Structure 1
Amino acid sequence: MKISRRFQSVVTATAAVVAAGLVLSACSSSPSASEGDPSDLSSVTLRFGQPSNLTEAAIVASGVLDDAPYKVEFASFQNAGDISSALVTGQLDFVQGYTEWSVAQAAAGATPAWSEGSTGYSVVGVIEPGDVANFDPFMVLSAKDSGIATIDDAKGKRWGYVPGSVLQLITAKAVTDKGWEFPDGIEPVTLDYTSQALALGSDLADLQTTYVNSAGTALEGGAQKVATASSIGVDLFFTYTASSKALKDPAKEAAIADLLERLAEYHAWFASHPDEAQAAIVDGLRLSPEQAKLSWEYDRGILRPVNETAIATTQGIVDDAYGFGLLKNTIDADLLFDDRFTTQIEEAATAADTEAVVRASY
């Protein structure tokens, strides 16, 4: 499938990130494009946040940013809290890789509380899993020779997850649905995004809730898939999220609209160019070719506009998390979404035939 090229290529080098302070020094000095003609995007720089280098590597490899009339600076972050802070303060304009849980979790803890017209950021695009029944990227794995074949076998066992992440939410749902207390019904094992890749092989845990990009080593070592988020009843999707400050800037708003159109093309490219996409994954995440193939299989998705199903799914997750005690406050999921780019996403996805291309890749 041929991807269109519309303007002259301007993609900058990866932005430097200070993990603790999240200071992107260029942010304060960037010119405000809203002072000029919003149709002239040549002075606009979109600061694009990502949870790993995968997004940058694959998007750049796809070529969909070729000829973009604005600059894109990528910045990588190690946790959702840092991404949220950067969005709220305007240090980031746009983020990929945030699940609806991460969006809701940060918003529910915001001070002052969010209200209509006063939010830190909004979901502006939804990445629908291409085949969640067979390729759900969120999974529960048991260690080789652990004797754990189902969630029923996990009571009292050492169960690893990253606290505060969607992995904790999935774990809490799995445990409470069995009628056990969370976390008392299991022996919780605190992991981080580095240690989770080695948790089962190093005997840190009997089972763990993880994401596919961290599961390769465990699966190669004989770990077994016990359940997935969807089989447990946690329906997750990734999002494209924009800061409220960027959305209030007419030129950045126009740039984001154009970027979302290109991203509809990107999702079609990612699914239809497995060799190139997997090479980008190897480069971006430093994975083996086998692990990159696994990541590609699970990361295919369809870009959708904001829709009522996504909002309702998010509200269900908020309600569950509040009931588990993972959120101190509840929040109206409607506040988290902005559908202003519906037309642009729909037209671009139709032009790229994104849904058909993605589904044909399975």
Structure 2
Amino acid sequence: MLDRRNLLAGLATTVALAACGRGGGADAQVLRVGSQKGGTKSLMLASGVLDGAPYKVEWSEFPAAQNLLEALGSSAVDLGLVGDAPFQFAYQAGSPIKAVGAQRTQTRLAGALSILVPARSPVHDGKGLKGKRIATTRGSVGHYLVLRSLIASGLRSEDVRIVFLSPSDSRAALQSGAVDAWSTWMPYVAAAQAEGDRIVVDGKDFVQGYGFEVAPESAIASKREQLSDFLRREAKALEWAKGHVDQYGAVLAKETGLPPQIARATAEKNVRLRVPIDNGVIKDQQVVLSTFQKFGEVKSARSLDNAFELNV
């Protein structure tokens, strides 16, 4: 049996690491990239696409999109990949950020985003969550999944209690019984399943599968060339990952400290490709915005047209 504390401990630490050398944040030849645990950094290192890049990449790692978006909003990093729900949540809150690139899962992979309960829980579906306490991170894809699940199950916001916690605190709360369920994403889903937790709501039917590379307006103005080059290299890395799951998983395990089998499961479910930001993509985001607005989680309505930078 894997040790629960050790398994999840490494997933929620924010660390700053330099890849390809170090440089000052104001240096135009340094691109500061934020990565969620098990995300962009592992992919780019595994694929080797940064070899020969005409700039240095300075990595910072974050446990969740919320933390990464805070860093982007304050211009502490220049670029970072987040899901569509957390991007829209932060953008509507007034953050000076824009999406400069888009990715989308090519197939709806089971379990990549899920609501989990302990093995012995009496809950077996979304309707069974009525009256339960659900942990997730505010503004995350997990938060969005809870709201979509409520709609699908015919429940109201007052029918459940959403408890906003970090991923590591959510896991601890589920283990202690302080909450009844946890809405989260990979690699946290795989790690929790390895410890016996089970999925009661699978997000594959409730999300559109978009991820956005997001940059602060300051970086778009000063580092457009580096951003564009990184996005081109990242597109190559995504293509590479489709046919190299084992190599990707091995690097993922090394970078995150996850057991090899969990890292591979994460790599297998992390199959995305770059897609152009077009009117269809922007229109799809109205579903995300409308969902947050329906439950009163978003009060403003900044123009979606201004949330995307199309020429990077």
Q: 1:70 to 1:124 in 2, by over 3 A?
A: same
- In structure 2, the CA distance between the partners of 1:188 and 1:261, relative to structure 1 (3 Å rule), is closer
- In structure 2, relative to structure 1, the CA distance for the partners of 1:318 and 1:277 (3 Å cut) is same
Alignment pair present for 1:307 and 2:273: no
Residue 213 (1) aligns with residue 198 (2): no
Label 1:82 to 1:140 Cα distance change in 2 as closer, same or farther (>3 A): closer
> What is the total number of aligned residue pairs between the two structures?
295
Can you give the 5+ residue segments of structure 1 that lack an aligned partner in the other structure? 1-9, 16-25, 34-43, 112-119, 342-362
Question: Aligned-residue CA RMSD in angstroms?
Answer: 2.4
Deviation at 1:259, TM superposition (A): 1.4
Check conservation: 1:124, 1:305, Cα contact below 8 A.
Answer: no
1:180 and 2:165 matched: no
The aligned residue for residue 260 of structure 2 is 289
Higher strand share: 2
Question: Structure 2 CA distance, aligned partners of 1:212 and 1:157?
Answer: 23
Over the matched positions of the two proteins, sequence identity in percent amounts to 23
The AA in structure 2 aligned to 1:100 is D
1:74 lines up with 2:59 in the alignment: yes
Residues 5-47 of structure 1, C-alpha deviations (whole Å, 9 max, x = no match)? xxxxx943589xxxxxxxxxx32xx34x4xxxxxxxxxx1111
Give the alignment partner of residue 109 of structure 1, picking from 93, 96, 103: 93
Gaps of 5+ in 2: 1-17
8 Å CA contact 2:238–2:271 kept in 1: the answer is yes
C-alpha distance in 2, partners of 1:216/1:79? Answer: 16
Q: Give CA deviations for 1:273-292 in whole Å, capped at 9, x if unaligned.
A: 12211111111211111111
SS of equivalent residue, structure 1 residue 248: helix
Deviation at 1:160, TM superposition (A): 2.3
How far off its partner does 1:58 sit? 2.9
SS of structure 2 residue aligned to 1:48: strand
Q: Deviations over 1:279-311 (max 9, x none)?
A: 111112111111112111111111112122221
Q: Which amino acid aligns with 1:180?
A: L
The amino acid across from 2:77 in the alignment is: L
CA 1:222 to 1:147, structure 2 compared with 1: closer, same or farther past 3 Å?
same
Q: Which has the larger radius of gyration?
A: 1
Q: Distance in 2 between matches of 1:277 and 1:157?
A: 37
2:115 matched residue in structure 1: 140
Superposition deviation, residue 60 in structure 1: 1.6
The equivalent of 2:102 in structure 1 is 126
Could you say if the C-alpha distance between residues 195 and 81 of structure 1 is closer, same or farther in structure 2, counting changes exceeding 3 Å?
A: closer
Residue 84 (structure 2) aligns with: 100
Give the TM-score of the pair, scaled to structure 2: 0.85
TM-score, scaled to structure 1: 0.74
Which residue in 2 is equivalent to 1:65?
A: 50
Structure 2 residue aligned with 1:203: 177
- Tell whether the 8 Å contact from 2:110 to 2:202 is kept in structure 1 after alignment: no
> Match for residue 20 of structure 2?
12
